[in-house]
Structure 1
Amino acid sequence: MMTTLYGIKTCDTCRRARRWLDAAGVDYRWIDLRADGITRERLEAWRAALGDAALINKRSKTWRDFDAAARAAAERDPVPVLAEHPTLIKRPILETDPETVAGFSEARYQSLFDTAS
């Protein structure tokens, strides 16, 4: 199973997810959203899999810094806004075959990788 973890290296939640995957012995590829960027196609796939509410991080500093017009634009069509501001993406995003999940939950990761022993 190919596993990819998308996030930002300075994000504490992404660090916890990476530590968990490393400790569980999961082979994964790391993509830094800020350093590597993200394609609109990937964002569209995430939007289809997760929905807008699970994709946009409304607790982020970027969101708080937006004015009302920018927030409305992001809610109308989040893909171009997320492509320009990857810090707005709720993270980490974990892609496995066939699931895509946003955020980190140890229980959720355990169920995905069946590491409970």
Structure 2
Amino acid sequence: MSTVLYGIPNCDTIKKAKKWLADHDIAFTFHDYRKDGIDARFLEDAEEQLGWELMLNKRGTTYRQLDDAEKTAIDKAKALAMLEQHPAMVKRPILLHNDTYHIGFKPTQYEAIFC
């Protein structure tokens, strides 16, 4: 079994997910978007299962700073390019467990995945 948690370390939701995994003795690798980078292959694989609309963090500062024309013209190709260029725009966390991607964190969601 392989488990990877993707995100940025100062995110509160990432901290909660990491704590939940540690408290349940679940081994995982943490992939820091800022330190380890993010590539097109990961984004394409995750998008295939999750959809780009779900992966795009519209609540974050980076997205909100886009002008209205950029926001209305977003499609899959543009979204993936923006996510690769601005990893902070990827909704967090993304969890890869047994070749399946999951997005977000709620204790009940992780219980369903791991228990």
Shorter-chain TM band? over 0.9
- The corresponding residue for 2:88 is 87
Q: Please tell me whether the aligned partners of residues 74 and 81 of structure 1 are also in contact (alpha carbons under 8 angstroms).
A: no
Q: Which whole-Å CA distance do the structure 2 matches of 1:23 and 1:9 have between them?
A: 18
Q: Which secondary structure state, in structure 2, belongs to the residue aligned with residue 82 of structure 1?
A: helix
1:26-105 aligned within 5 A: 26-77=26-77, 78-105=79-106
TM-score by length of 1: 0.91
What is the root-mean-square deviation in Å for CA atoms of aligned residues?
1.2
Q: Segments of 4+ in structure 1 off by > 3 A?
A: 72-76
Read off the aligned partner of 1:4 and give its amino acid letter.
V
Q: Please tell me whether the aligned partners of residues 5 and 93 of structure 1 are also in contact (alpha carbons under 8 angstroms).
A: yes
Ranges in structure 1 where 5+ consecutive residues have no aligned partner: none
Q: Residues 71-107 of structure 1, C-alpha deviation per residue, up to 9 Å, x if partnerless?
A: 2454352111100000100000000013211110110
Moved more, 103-112 or 73-82: 73-82
Q: Which secondary structure state, in structure 1, belongs to the residue aligned with residue 5 of structure 2?
A: strand
Ranges in structure 2 where 5+ consecutive residues have no aligned partner: none
Tell me whether 1:25 sits opposite 2:25 in the alignment.
yes
The percent identity for this pair of structures is 36
- How far has the Cα of 1:34 moved from its partner? 1.4
Read off the aligned partner of 2:44 and give its amino acid letter.
E
Q: Which whole-Å CA distance do the structure 1 matches of 2:72 and 2:87 have between them?
A: 17
Q: Which secondary structure state, in structure 1, belongs to the residue aligned with residue 99 of structure 2?
A: coil
- The corresponding residue for 1:3 is 3
Read off the aligned partner of 1:101 and give its amino acid letter.
H
Structure 1 pair 73/41, CA: closer, same or farther in 2 (3 Å)?
Answer: farther
Q: Which whole-Å CA distance do the structure 1 matches of 2:10 and 2:70 have between them?
A: 25
Q: Which whole-Å CA distance do the structure 2 matches of 1:73 and 1:17 have between them?
A: 33
